[in-house]
Structure 1
Amino acid sequence: MSSSSSTVDMDPDVALRLFEEGATLVLLGVPRGTELGIDCKSWQVGPRFRGVKMIPPGLHFLHYCSVNSPSCGGEIGPKTGLFLTLKPREILLANWDPKEEDLDFSASKNEEEVSRVRATLRELDPYLGPYPYEVMRKWVSLTDRLSEELANDLQPLSGRVCAFSDVIPETPFTHTKDRAEQPRNDTECQSMREGLDRLPRMKQREGTELRFSVIPEKTYPPGATPAEITQWSLDLSYALETVLETNHRLQPLNLLGELQFAFVCFLFGNVYEGFEHWKRVLTLLCRSEEAMRKRKDLYLGLIAVLYHQLGEIPPDFFVDIVSQNNFLTSTLQDFFQFASGAGVDSTLRKRAEKFKAHLTKKFRWDFDADLDDCDPVVVELPEGVTVD
C-alpha cells in the first residue's frame, strides 16, 4: 500500500464519516516490500507507508508476511495474522520488530505515546493508506456471526494466527551431552518411515495453538448398542449436540461464527488447519439429520454463511482442494437430502431448495447424481473360486 492510495471510488458522505469516526492503525518501521493486508485485501508496502486510516469500527483481520531484500532473493516468509476489534476514532500503534519479523503493539499501551501520535495525525495522514472500502461489505458478510469475544476465544493465546505451526521438540535437549546420549544409528535409512522415526518428536509451542472446538472421534454415546452405533454413525446429530453442549451451550449459533473464523484463517491467513476444521464442522452440520429437524435457526444461518463463503473463494480452490474425493458435493448432497425430509421446517426446506438451485447454476454441480456411480465395483468371491 502506498501513500498514493485514494478514496476516489468512495461515496463522499461515507468517506467523511469514516474519516471522522474510523479507527487508525499506525504501523511504524514496516520494511518496504512487506505484504500487508486487512480483511479481504492486501498490498505490498511502499517506502512511505505508515499505516491504515478510516477503518470501520468493529472486528478486522490484519495479516502480513515479511519479504527478504532483493539481494537475498526476495523470498516471502510465512503469513502471520491477528484479529483486532477497533473502536470509533481509536488509534492502535505498533512498531516493526526486525528480529522477530513481527509487529509489536506494546506501544499502544503507552498513553503518552498514543497521545503524541494523535497530536501529529494530520502530519501522518499523507503516509496512511485508506481502508479498502470496496471490500467492507464482503468482509462483513464473511464475519457477521463472528463476535469479538468468540474470535478472542478461538485465536491462540499468543494472539497470532500463523500459517506455519511453531513447533519445539517434545524432549528438550539443552546440552550437547543430552543429545549425545540419544540412541544413534549411522547406517543409511532404508525407508522414509525409518528416517522420520529417527527425527525428534515435535509438539506445537504452548500458546500458539488455534483453540477450535474438539470434534469427538466417537459419534455415538458411551455404552451404545450396535444399532445405536450404526444410527449415530450415519446421522451425526449426537456428535453435533455434544460439540454444542461442550463449547456453545449458551449460544449454539456461535458454531457458525467458528465456521467463519476457520474459513477466514484459511482464506486470508493461509492456515491449512483452518480449512481442515472448516471441513470437519461442515461435515458435522450437513450430516446431522435429527438436528436439522430441531434446530431451524442454526441451519437457516448455515445456508447464509455458506452462500457468502462459496461466493468468495477463488475458482481454482475447488479444483485444487475442495473437490478432492468430492468432499463438498457429497457433503452438500447429504444436506439437501436431509433438508427435504419429513419433519423439516417448511421455511428451511424452501431455503435449501433455492440454495441448491443457486449452486447447481453457479458451479454446475449435480446434487441428484449418484456420486458413487464411477467407483469401481468390488465383488467378493467365495473361497476357492477363481475367474479365468
Structure 2
Amino acid sequence: MASSRNVVDMDPDVARRLFEEGAFLVLLGVPQGTELGIDCKSWQVGPRFKGVKMIPPGMHFLHYCSANPPSCGGEIGPKTGLFLTLKPREILLANWDPKTEDLDFSASQNEEEVSRIRASLRDLDPFLGPYPYEVMRKWVSLTDRLSQEVASSLQPLSGRVCAFSDVIPVVDFRHTKDREEQPRNDTACQSMKEGLDRLPRMKHREGTELRFSAIPEKNYPPGATPAEITQCSMDLSYALERVLEKNHRLQPLNVLGELQFAFVCFLIGNVYEGFEHWKRLLVLLCRAEEAMRERKELYLGLIAVLYHQLGEIPPDFFVDIVSQDNFLTSTLQDFFQFASGPGVDGTLRKRAEKFKAHLTKKFRWDFDADLDDCAPVVVELPEGVTVD
C-alpha cells in the first residue's frame, strides 16, 4: 500500500486540508496480496493494511481483486468495484467476508461501531495509506460530468460493478423431466449455430446487471417512409433524442455522465460491457447531425469528455480493440464532418477543428481520407480460372 512518502511530497496546504476534511475508508481483514485501488491507482495489500485516509470528499471508485495465497498459486480473481460518494471527515467501515471474497459495508450502519473507530483513528493511522493525490486531477477529468445520482441509476442494484457477469440458466433444470426435454448432446454438431443452440440459455442474476440506457433498435419513427428511414439511418438524431427523452429528460447533459460511467467501468473496472456501451453511445452522439446544430452545450461537453478519455487509453489499445473495423476513426470522421457543416455554432466548429488537429497530431489519424479507400479490392482472375 502507499507509504507516508506521498504525504511528505504533497503540498503542505493540500495535506493539511485533507487531514482536516478528508474521508476515511477503514477496510478490516482484507487478505494480504489482494489487489485494491481507489480511482485511477491500485496496490497489492500488505500485512499492515487497514484502509485509506485523506480521501478528498466527493465521488470515488473503489475496486479490488481477491487473490489466492502464494501456496495456491497466487492467482488474482476478477475485479469488483463500487462507486462511493464520501462526505468531509466521513468514516466508511467495511469488513472482508472470506466466504464471498467481498467487502461487507453493513458495519457502517452501526453508529456505535463507527464512533469507536473514530475514537481510535490515532491508533489506526499507521495502518492507513494516504489517498494517491497525484491521480486526483486525472480522476476528476474522467468523471466531471458523472454525478452520484447518475452513477447510482446505472450501476447494478447490488451496488457492485463486476468484471465477469454473474449469470444463471434461464431454465433451472431442477427435475429430471426438465433435462429430458432438452436437445441431446450425444451427436456431433453439424454447425456452429447448432452447437450454440445446444448450450443452456443464460441470463444475468437479478440485481447484478448494469442498467445502461437502451439504444433504440430502430433509428426511425413508426410508420416512417423509405426516404425517412434512409435519412434517420444517416443522421441518428431521432434515436439520440429518444435516448435523451427516456433516460435524461430533465438533464440531457447527463448522457455525458453515462458516457464517463461506461468508460470508467471499462478502463478501471475491466468490464467489457462498459466498452461496448461507450462505443454505441459514442456512435449515437457523433452521427447525430441535426442534434449537433441544436445542442451546442452537449457537443462542447462531448469534445471535452473525449479529450480526456482518449488521453488515458494506452496507444497499443487502439491496435487491439478500438481500431477494429476502423470504428473510432470513422465515427470521429463523421463527427468532424457534421461539426463543419452549415448551421453549427461557430464556437463548436472551432473547438471541433482544434480537437481534430490534436488527435491528428497525437495519434496520426487521417480524418480527411476517403473511406472508400478501405473498400474491398476487386481482383481480376485469369481467363478460365473460377472460384467456387
Give the 5 Å matches for 1:1-388.
1=1, 6-175=6-175, 178-179=178-179, 182-377=182-377
Partner AA of 2:28 in structure 1: L
Aligned equivalents of 1:5 and 1:226: distance in 2? 66
Q: Indicate conservation of the 8 Å contact 1:154/1:210, yes or no.
A: yes
* SS at structure 2 position matched to 1:27: strand
Cα displacement (A) at 1:315: 1.5
SS of corresponding position for 1:116: helix
- How far does the alpha carbon of each residue in 1:200-253 deviate from its partner, in whole angstroms, 9 at most, with x for none? 111111111111110001001000001000000000000011111111011000
Report if the CA contact (8 A) 1:3-1:128 is conserved.
no
Task: Name the stretch that deviates more: 313-322 or 246-255.
Answer: 313-322
- 1 CA distance for matches of 2:275 and 2:85? 23
Instruction: Give yes or no for contact 2:79–2:270 (8 Å, CA) kept in 1.
Output: yes
C-alpha distance in structure 2 between counterparts of 1:185 and 1:52, whole Å: 52
| RMSD of aligned Cα (Å) | 1.9
Q: Residue 48 of structure 2 aligns to a residue in which SS?
A: coil
Determine the C-alpha separation between the residues in 1 that align with 2:245 and 2:74: 48
Tell me the alpha carbon deviations over residues 57-104 of structure 1, each in whole angstroms, 9 at most, x when there is no partner: 000000111111112111111100000000000000000111101000
Q: Which amino acid aligns with 2:283?
A: T
State the match for 1:382 in structure 2.
none
Partners in 1 of 2:104 and 2:64 — Cα distance? 13
Consecutive unaligned residues of structure 2, counting only runs of 5 or more, are: none
Letter in 1 for 2:365: W
* In 2, Cα distance between equivalents of 1:104 and 1:26: 11
Structure 2 CA distance, aligned partners of 1:300 and 1:12? 36
Question: Quick one: distance in 2 between partners of 1:157 and 1:375?
Answer: 45
How many Å apart are 1:2 and its aligned residue? 5.0
Displacement of 1:387 after TM fit? 8.7
Kept after mapping to 2: 8 A contact 1:156/1:209: yes
The 3 A distance-change label for structure 1 pair 343 and 386 is farther
Deviation at 1:374, TM superposition (A): 3.3
- In structure 1, what is the Cα distance between the partners aligned to 2:87 and 2:328? 38
Counterpart Cα distance in 2 of 1:343 and 1:284: 20
Check the 8 A contact 2:336/2:356 in 1, yes or no: yes
Distance 1:344 1:2 in 2: 48
Write out per-residue CA displacement over residues 144-191 of structure 1, whole angstroms, 9 at most, x where no aligned residue: 000011110010000000001000010112345643564434234444
CA drift at 1:4: 5.2
Which amino acid in the other structure matches residue 305 of structure 1?
Answer: V
Q: Distance in 2 between matches of 1:112 and 1:43?
A: 31
Q: CA–CA distance in 2 between the matches of 1:183 and 1:218?
A: 34
Q: Secondary structure at the match of 1:269?
A: coil
* Cα distance in 2 between the residues matched to 1:184 and 1:248: 47
Measure, in 2, the Cα distance between the counterparts of 1:233 and 1:122. Answer: 62
Equivalent position amino acid for 2:113 in 1: E
Distance 2:34 2:256 in 1: 33
- Kept in 1, the 8 Å contact 2:2–2:132? The answer is no
Structure 1 counterpart of 2:109, which letter?
K
Q: CA deviation at 1:375?
A: 2.1
What amino acid maps onto 1:329 in structure 2? Answer: T
2:325 aligned partner, one-letter code: N
**TM-score normalised by length of structure 1:** 0.95
Matched residue SS, 1:355: helix
- Are the counterparts in 2 of residues 6 and 129 from structure 1 also a CA contact under 8 Å? no
Partners of 2:196 and 2:219 lie apart in 1 by 32
Displacement of 1:337: 0.4
Mapped to 2, the partners of 1:15 and 1:363 lie a distance apart of 37
Q: 1:245 to 1:332 in 2, by over 3 A?
A: same
SS at match of 2:25: strand
TM-score (norm 2): 0.95
* Partners of 2:377 and 2:222 in 1: CA distance: 35
Would you say the 8 A contact 1:2–1:46 is kept in 2? no
SS in 2 for 1:26: strand
Q: Deviations over 1:343-368 (max 9, x none)?
A: 00000000001111111111111111
1:378 deviates by: 5.5
SS of residue paired to 1:7: helix
CA distance in 1, matches of 2:177, 2:167: 22
Aligned equivalents of 2:180 and 2:5: distance in 1?
A: 57
CA contact (8 A) 1:3 1:126 kept: no
CA offset at residue 269 of structure 1? 0.1
